[in-house]
Amino acid sequence: MATQLERARAGEVTPQILAVAQEEGLDPVVVRDRVARGTIVIPNNTIRQHRVVGIGEGLRTKVNASIGTSSDIVDVEAEIRKAKAAEEEGADTLMELSVGGDLDDVRRRVLAATDLPVGNVPLYQAFCEATRRYHDPDKLDEELLFDLIEQQCADGISFMAIHCGINLYTIERLRNQGYRYGGLVSKGGTFMISWMLANGRDNPLYEKFDRVVDILRRYDVVLSLGNGIRAGAIDDSSDRAQVAELITNCELAEIGREMGCQMMVEGPGHVPLDEIEGNIQLQKRMSGHAPYYVLGPLPCDVGAGYDHVTAAVGAASSSRFGADLVCYITPAEHLALPDEHDVREGVRVARLAVHMGDIVKLGERGRILDREMAKARRDMQWDRQFELGLFGAEARAIRASRTPADQDTCTMCGSFCAAKNADALFADCLSAEKR
């Protein structure tokens, strides 16, 4: 079966393309043409029905929520609750990143529990299996790796973060650089580098990239080129090792598209505010504007406990400059496995952050909701405000917990309410629409 990319190139407006166009308020032909160029992807594993989500040029910035067991905590029911919580809070995609317990069972149960497109990182299970079988992840058989990629596609995974861009050249850049303040922070990337050094071989995901693409293309799974050497500290941002991997991934994105596979590029980790725009411009220019899936980014290193806020600042900036999918960060980042409360908080904050960026990125389309909210506040239409707000239920609960004497106002200002007093003075001009 042809992929969304191949069908778009043939001039077809698929049902998925039509659904994205309707959701985003765009002409279906515009969406089709962007899918054909590879600047929009639609995760669409052909054997699993799920919500249609478009990611890329001219679309609302999407939010990904990541869940998964660890080697310390294996509670599948908790992961299912987290998956459902992420969906309830408005996440657009989900990544299942388990490394503890029966990984096939966890993945399949999560897939059954959510209507979201689900992604994963195949290297996690590959190195877990090698450790279980041989007590040494460096003894991973590359055939097992490719078999697992196929199996996970067959289970219904819709996008995969695969670390194809790490190769011997990238490692040489890291060695020649001679230092890293934050070290290596990608689990998959670190294990792959260890495997390469232990076996004296290049990365099979890079050497046999066409094989990776062929598997994912057959299921129409989006290949998200993983960022295994991403910066774990702002002082490592844009260093030679990270940029070398980014260059490779951008080249691979072009090759994969030519082979008919939908492609995304991942990055960049910890990035100071003044480098976010440049990082996104570099990725877009080098990849032919492939969708960019950003992890964070975190613009400082000292926010543990509040890194969901740290990441929100980076996410708003990234969205503004053209990032297409943002991975949420929870309050537990750098500290512990997130619980259900962390997941909910992470999704809410990330959604708010990317909306701020979309106000700029999408122009007039991005401002519609805020303009309606402004008018509802001016006119003290409380139910309308709760309807328009991203977090209407929470806003309603806060107001109800501190009931005002005058139901038109709130207890912040009471009888000194500026909106009510201004309405009495300037009702005609303040409520007039701009001509």
Same domain? For 126 and 13 the reply is yes
pLDDT given at position 304: 97
Mean pLDDT calculated for residue range 144-168: 98
Please give the tally of structural domains in the chain. 2
Domain limit, last residue, from 362, 389, 414: 362
Same domain? For 72 and 90 the reply is yes
Q: What's the token pair of residue 29?
A: 């032909």
Q: Is residue 352 part of a domain?
A: yes
CATH number for position 321: 3.20.20.540
Instruction: Assess contact for 46 and 16: CB atoms under 8 A.
Output: no
Q: Is residue 97 part of a domain?
A: yes
Mean pLDDT calculated for residue range 211-228: 98
Domain limit, last residue, from 308, 338, 362: 362
Helix H segments across 322-363?
340-361
Same domain? For 330 and 286 the reply is yes
Q: Is residue 77 part of a domain?
A: yes
Confidence bin at 167 (pLDDT 50/70/90) = very high
Mean pLDDT calculated for residue range 126-141: 96
Same domain? For 373 and 337 the reply is no
- When the pLDDT of each residue in the chain is averaged and rounded to a whole number, the result is 96
Render pLDDT for 353-384 as a digit per residue (tens, 0 to 9).
999 999 999 999 999 999 999 999 999 999 99
Mean pLDDT calculated for residue range 20-43: 98
Same domain? For 199 and 65 the reply is yes
Q: Is residue 435 part of a domain?
A: no
Mean pLDDT calculated for residue range 130-145: 96
Helix (H, G, I), strand (E, B) or coil at 225: strand
Whether the predicted pLDDT of 1 surpasses 90 = no
Same domain? For 155 and 140 the reply is yes
Mean pLDDT calculated for residue range 298-302: 98
pLDDT given at position 417: 87
Render pLDDT for 71-90 as a digit per residue (tens, 0 to 9).
999 999 999 999 999 999 99
pLDDT given at position 207: 98
Instruction: Assess contact for 97 and 121: CB atoms under 8 A.
Output: yes
Domain limit, last residue, from 362, 379, 394: 362
Render pLDDT for 195-212 as a digit per residue (tens, 0 to 9).
999 999 999 999 999 999
Mean pLDDT calculated for residue range 276-290: 98
Whether the predicted pLDDT of 179 surpasses 90 = no
Confidence bin at 429 (pLDDT 50/70/90) = low
Domain residue limits at 265: 4-362
* Strand 62-67 relative to strand 222-225, pairing: unpaired
Confidence bin at 435 (pLDDT 50/70/90) = low
Same domain? For 344 and 225 the reply is yes
% of residues, the chain, pLDDT over 90: 92
Give the residue from 45, 263, 51 showing the smallest Cα distance to 156. Answer: 45
pLDDT given at position 432: 65
Q: Is residue 384 part of a domain?
A: yes
Same domain? For 356 and 372 the reply is no
pLDDT given at position 134: 95
Whether the predicted pLDDT of 409 surpasses 90 = no
User: What residue has token string 């980076």?
Assistant: 314
Q: What's the token pair of residue 155?
A: 């289970």
**Alpha carbon of 346 to those of 219, 306, 351: distances in Å?**
30, 10, 9
